[in-house]
Structure 1
């Protein structure tokens, strides 16, 4: 996907400006451009596909992605600062997704994207991780972002099905 390739290239060209900025800046200049390129619309009030500060019980996820406004979100995203390790907040986003009946959860600092299947029966959160990708590895990141976060793949259920296949294969190997 040329647009995603260009979006990631632009972000990486300017990554030196991202090291000292807050989460809101990462959301504005990294996360939203990637989501838009993947087909998610944040400008149409009628569809409200991208909801910032989405409330789950008495907490908030940074973003909820909706296919249909009157249904549960299909993806929750928790954003961190560019150089912040993302592992320490995985319980938070997985709890939000599981309790909100949202199948896919992502935690990202803009550079590293970690994907979880919230409903997967596992003894640890790490066993719910089906993909981890770094945008500095552009081709792999493009492939993974398209496979698991492209709006048409999420809407069709293909992203969730692919995640389930990955986790089933991991369970057999382990």
Structure 2
């Protein structure tokens, strides 16, 4: 089972059990420990997970953090747990105190449903007041699964997480601010736009009028944007349908000349094995042509991950760069396909990000 499937299975568990969880200890046993296990750590191995780790704070001795995930004898992630129904805003100071006296670079405050990840972006060794990543496990997004995967034992790398932490923190905060302003524009927000279309003084009466106009304009713009995206998607589907019809007529003429070899099928299985850690492999398909063997995302000719050129004296695997240009790589045998894993992943990210932006 890949990481994405494990998280989905864990989500189903939380939804099913939460109404029966009555205490903080039960939350730990039913939610937190399985979550840690999903991240690849053995909760019963003290070399990997230490429960109730002592964190002396100044003159206060014997203070304990609920869990500490360890690596090479050093804590790398401190976890403070609360009952699933508790408001985490009431408890972040407690984690902050533990973090500041620990060598851990990351802290996690959770009630088993909401997971808030912290680090020290603003001041070294002092935990930030706001998390750089917050996840509702019952409503987790695809992009959040990828960020959460970075904390998995197999992929954990401090620098890799920190490189995206700053962007995650500020984009998350900006999204929240934008959402609030769109729902209930503040006077400052309204004045900013009003002054660009109205030359006079913005009185209280005018401010009320422009508040209503601003909300209406935001709603109209979003509706227009959605309509344009839908229109673009429909055009793309129509073009794809026409292209498929043309491809079908051409395929009737060339099908007899195409011979899918065992080597090409084996290459397809290798690419599926590589991409399994990135996506659900049910999204991968292949199509054979006279000159090359394509491996596609979502069975879409316009979303090929790589192509095999095995019908010549030299064998090549072709990947696609950020400009959607094909780049051929000479290979000696099928094992060489593993060398270009990052190129396959970049192609998948490029196609998926494009769809998210629509």
Common topology (TM > 0.5):
yes
- Tell me which residue corresponds to 2:153: 151
- Tell me which residue corresponds to 2:77: 75
- Cα distance in structure 2, aligned partners of 1:172 and 1:39: 32
| Contact 1:105 1:117 (C-alpha < 8 Å) held by counterparts | yes
- Tell me which residue corresponds to 1:142: 145
After TM superposition, the score normalised by the length of structure 1 is 0.81
Q: CA deviation at 1:167?
A: 4.2
- Cα distance in structure 2, aligned partners of 1:121 and 1:39: 30
Structure 2: gaps of 5 or more residues: 178-358
| Contact 1:103 1:119 (C-alpha < 8 Å) held by counterparts | no
Q: CA deviation at 1:16?
A: 1.5
Tell me the alpha carbon deviations over residues 131-164 of structure 1, each in whole angstroms, 9 at most, x when there is no partner. 11111103355344323x3223334542233224
Give the direction of change, closer, same or farther, for the CA distance of 1:42–1:155 in structure 2 (3 Å limit): farther
Q: CA deviation at 1:125?
A: 4.2
Residues 5-84 of structure 1 correspond to what in structure 2 (within 5 A)?
5-18=8-21, 21-45=22-46, 48-57=47-56, 58=61, 59-69=63-73, 71=74, 73-84=75-86
Structure 1: gaps of 5 or more residues: none
After TM superposition, the score normalised by the length of structure 2 is 0.42
Instruction: Give the superposed CA RMSD.
Output: 2.9
Q: Secondary structure at the match of 1:82?
A: coil
Paired residues in the alignment total 166
Tell me the alpha carbon deviations over residues 65-110 of structure 1, each in whole angstroms, 9 at most, x when there is no partner. 00112x2x00001000010001111111122112112110111100
Larger Cα-atom Rg: 2
